[in-house]
Structure 1
Amino acid sequence: MTAMNLLPQQVPFTPPSETISLTQYETAAVASAALSLWDRHHGRPLHDDQLLYDVESAAGNLPSRLQSALRRFRDKGNLDGVLLIDGLPVEDQAATPSAGGIDPDWAEVPVSTFSQLMVMSTLGSVISYSDEKEGRLIQDVFPKRGQELRQENSGCVLLELHTEDGFLAYPPHFLSLLCIRADHDQVAATVACSVRRVLPLLTDELVSVLYQQRFRIAYSSSFTGGQESEVWSRPMSILSGPSTDPDLVVDFHGMEGLDSGAQDALHVLRDVFVANLTGTVLLPGQLVVVDNRVAVHGRTAFLARFDDKDRWLRRCFAVSDLREVRDSFEHGRALRITPS
């Protein structure tokens, strides 16, 4: 793989253009709905269909303006490909998981779990991947000692811009990150940029190259048992679909061009994205949703202390239509890996 220079550890960005801030009353109402779900379903696995259908019904308890914003984002998106929600209830007194221990069961943080699931169920059907993080529907993201330099969510260095799991045949349509705890110094910014924002800045020649199958992506080590992967996707294009509103698949760490012209195009595209980032340092109760079909995302660097107060996010995926992935279920809503 042809290496690209990593971004600076901190990069400039502007705030997301669309933010929904809940009132204290609305936060309490979401917490109440989450606790009701907990009362009915504790002891069940999150992959249980009845639990997930009940979550979809309970999502009607989200504030109506939040439901409208989520449905609008689901159907039409926005210029940034990002929606920020502020004020969701979380268990902010819980300890960050131990880097050497077992990730907490969802039942240890039920309010956070069901709040996030209600949001994601409004966007689509939640899924996971059976080979990644044991197929958990909601995955804990926190720094792990010895993995500080990894280009994974367990690292602390700048996480390079990418669309999620672009090497798979069925990558998620939406991903969310819910903050339980910010990093100690509050410098770890989640950053993103949509192809919609940068498309007018790209030349016709560059766009033509990006529509051609002259690129490939290496599998993430989170799908290969933590080992550096040498498994590659088939040749793919970066852009697809209508030229006026294309879909995007790219990974500026794991992708390479298959010829010099494609590699040059990849570098140019990356520079344009970096110059137009939106982002925020996520604080407890803030959840960011990324439209994975049009936007790259990443994270700036931070210093981990490997204590019970380290940065802790929870990640969840959704797709618009389960029927599209009906041949890939391993168990519950967990999909087996299918190469792209």
Structure 2
Amino acid sequence: MIDAHFSMAIRGAVNRWMSDNPLETCLLALDSPVVLGEALLPQIESALSNVGLALADVQRQAWVNPFSHLKAVFDIDDLPETPAAFTPVPDVVTTVAARACSVACLAALNSDTISYGSENDGHLFVNLVVLPGDDDFAEKSKSDMRGHTDAVSFPVRGQLHEFDERVAPSPDFVCLSGLRNPDETATTVMPLSEVLQQLTPAELVELTKPQYVIRPQKTFTRGLRKLLGKNSLLLNAMAGIQLLFESEDGYWIRYSHSAADADYESHLATHAVTRFEEACQKCSVSVVISPGDILVVNNRVGLHGRGVVGGEAGGHSRWLLRTYGLDTRTLTPEQRYVDSKFKLFP
């Protein structure tokens, strides 16, 4: 019931804000997501209080559970054809509402809505759509995706990057807003707590050792090369990486099947990661993001993927918006861009 009440609280706050302001003002506000989140929070908090809930209840749920499925948070009114590129997001009432609801949701979870300069030119929101053509990105946009955490080559919050201390942490939350999903393609989530229950204590120990190899995911490599040059250390595979971390409330994970090598010197390490993959498939939960829904995946305690995406680029094919949330209170100035209110390094 917490998710249902949270959905209605966000919906009410954003609807009122949009009815009180012209579209141009709302669009400008999206450029300052922290300020917008702070403006929307009081009404969300009030709506929750009316049903006996506090923000702390919502935050606790978001960290206990690997995902929150918020249904019917915004209306679908005036969508153009589905874009055939990651950016830009068309500026119409529905996409403004979807973006504002995401900002409000993340603000309620003590997270700022952020982007990384090395992914999609630092745009705060991107279209997750079928891409035209037959290159790697186009093929990936149609294929299924196994379990991973986003921005896997960046450190988890509270740790420093292996090559460059300016690198900001990976996001705490991945926020997906549904605009179209004609084939009801499922987003899959693998709850870390359930996955780890399938492993032996010895396998858990292996995953906590700094003995794995991770490389940047494809969506970041192009931007890293553009920003920092082809010889940047941040483009290199990183050895001696830990995948599983003990936190105050349990374990956190940093993992991607497509960006991690499985050829380790240690047989035990290879066996542990193979068992982890098998457990992810066994514990996978399917969630259909319908138009108007928001799915918030905890990037520390939940891996996510998806099924095969049907349809051709454009038209009325599947269309999600994605953004990230992060608790930024401990970031250094070097981990931010001086010319942006939301973009993090690299």
1:31 and 2:30 equivalent? no
Conservation of the 8 A alpha-carbon contact between 1:166 and 1:250: yes
Look up the match of 1:232: 237
Return the match for 1:299 from 298, 302, 306.
306
Q: Which of 136-145 and 319-328 deviates more?
A: 319-328
Conservation of the 8 A alpha-carbon contact between 1:190 and 1:298: yes
Return the match for 1:195 from 184, 192, 197.
192
Structure 1 letter corresponding to 2:254: V
Pick closer, same or farther for the CA change 1:236–1:42 going to 2, 3 Å.
Answer: same
Displacement of 1:85? 0.3
Q: Alignment partner of 1:323: what SS? A: coil
Conservation of the 8 A alpha-carbon contact between 1:30 and 1:88: no
Which whole-Å CA distance do the structure 1 matches of 2:7 and 2:336 have between them? 39
Conservation of the 8 A alpha-carbon contact between 2:10 and 2:101: no
Which whole-Å CA distance do the structure 1 matches of 2:248 and 2:196 have between them? 9
Conservation of the 8 A alpha-carbon contact between 1:97 and 1:142: yes
Return the match for 2:324 from 311, 317, 330.
317
Which whole-Å CA distance do the structure 2 matches of 1:279 and 1:71 have between them? 27
RMSD in angstroms over aligned alpha carbons?
A: 3.3
Which whole-Å CA distance do the structure 2 matches of 1:139 and 1:161 have between them? 20
| Structure with more helix by fraction | 2
Look up the match of 1:164: 150
Which whole-Å CA distance do the structure 2 matches of 1:193 and 1:98 have between them? 29
Conservation of the 8 A alpha-carbon contact between 2:36 and 2:104: no
- Provide, for residues 120-142 of structure 1, a one-character-per-residue CA deviation record: whole Å limited to 9, x for no partner: 11111111001111211122211
Which whole-Å CA distance do the structure 1 matches of 2:326 and 2:210 have between them? 24
Structure 2 letter corresponding to 1:177: L
Return the match for 2:114 from 123, 127, 132.
127
Displacement of 1:317? 0.8
Q: Which of 131-140 and 104-113 deviates more?
A: 104-113
- Provide, for residues 96-145 of structure 1, a one-character-per-residue CA deviation record: whole Å limited to 9, x for no partner: 44316952355663212211211111111111001111211122211101
Which whole-Å CA distance do the structure 1 matches of 2:131 and 2:306 have between them? 16
Which whole-Å CA distance do the structure 2 matches of 1:225 and 1:45 have between them? 29
Name structure 2 gaps, 5 residues minimum.
156-168, 226-233
1:271 and 2:260 equivalent? no
Displacement of 1:95? 2.1
Matched ranges for 1:137-176 at <5 A: 137-146=124-133, 150=137, 155-169=141-155, 170-176=169-175
Pick closer, same or farther for the CA change 1:234–1:335 going to 2, 3 Å.
Answer: farther
Pick closer, same or farther for the CA change 1:122–1:38 going to 2, 3 Å.
Answer: farther
Which whole-Å CA distance do the structure 1 matches of 2:243 and 2:154 have between them? 14
Displacement of 1:58? 1.2
Pick closer, same or farther for the CA change 1:38–1:81 going to 2, 3 Å.
Answer: farther
Displacement of 1:67? 10
Look up the match of 2:344: 335
Which whole-Å CA distance do the structure 1 matches of 2:9 and 2:34 have between them? 25
1:41 and 2:40 equivalent? no
Pick closer, same or farther for the CA change 1:196–1:106 going to 2, 3 Å.
Answer: farther
Return the match for 1:247 from 236, 245, 252.
252
Which whole-Å CA distance do the structure 2 matches of 1:334 and 1:86 have between them? 28
Look up the match of 2:41: 59
Look up the match of 2:217: 220
Name structure 1 gaps, 5 residues minimum.
1-16
Pick closer, same or farther for the CA change 1:140–1:221 going to 2, 3 Å.
Answer: same
Conservation of the 8 A alpha-carbon contact between 2:117 and 2:344: yes
Which whole-Å CA distance do the structure 2 matches of 1:137 and 1:71 have between them? 26
Pick closer, same or farther for the CA change 1:102–1:75 going to 2, 3 Å.
Answer: closer
> When the two structures are superposed, what TM-score results if normalisation uses the length of structure 2?
0.79
Pick closer, same or farther for the CA change 1:71–1:136 going to 2, 3 Å.
Answer: farther
Q: Alignment partner of 2:331: what SS? A: helix
Q: Which of 170-179 and 262-271 deviates more?
A: 262-271
Look up the match of 2:74: 89
Return the match for 1:185 from 165, 183, 186.
183
> When the two structures are superposed, what TM-score results if normalisation uses the length of structure 1?
0.81
Pick closer, same or farther for the CA change 1:43–1:298 going to 2, 3 Å.
Answer: closer
How many residues are treated as equivalent by the alignment? 316
Pick closer, same or farther for the CA change 1:319–1:28 going to 2, 3 Å.
Answer: closer
Return the match for 2:203 from 201, 206, 209.
206
Q: Alignment partner of 1:20: what SS? A: helix
Which whole-Å CA distance do the structure 1 matches of 2:53 and 2:138 have between them? 35
Conservation of the 8 A alpha-carbon contact between 1:27 and 1:89: yes
